[in-house]
Amino acid sequence: MRVVSHEDQQGASDYAMKGFALGIAQWAGVGVFASGLLYAFAPWYRRTQTVNKFYIVMCFGLGGGAYKSDRYMVNYERRGRADMLDTETRKQYDRIYGNNKDVQEESPMVPVAAPAS
């Protein structure tokens, strides 16, 4: 189990809610379009109560929001793991080959002038 800070939890939550909002917008649009097509071509759908039509569109939106939220959360976790792997790889590289900053401090780029005789 990975221990995360409150800021990490809040960041993940905010990112997932962004995905949820986008998913609702996208899939509610699909639901409205499908409802319009059904209203135009299906007589049984025209007789359906307005509340039930709204429920159908709402189901499209909530289902799409849940799906998109999950996708955003998985991508957030993958991005976090990739950053963590990059950090660990950089630490191991520095341990094996030395830190580039140490080399720059030992040998400055400015040449030292020879003392005058």
Q: Residues 1-44: pLDDT tens digits?
A: 466 788 888 988 999 999 999 999 999 999 999 999 999 999 99
Q: Where are the domains of the chain?
A: 10-104
What's the pTM value of the predicted model, to 2 decimals? Answer: 0.68
Token output for 55: 């429920």
Cβ contact 57:36 at 8 Å: no
User: How many Cα atoms within 13 Å fall on the side-chain side of residue 2?
Assistant: 9
Rounded to the nearest 10 degrees, how much is the dihedral formed by the CA atoms of 77, 79, 85, 91?
A: -120
* Assigned token pair, 45: 């759908």
Quote the CA–CA distance of 49 and 3 in Å, as a whole number: 50
pLDDT per position as a tens digit, 65-113: 999 999 999 998 888 888 888 888 888 888 888 876 655 555 555 555 6
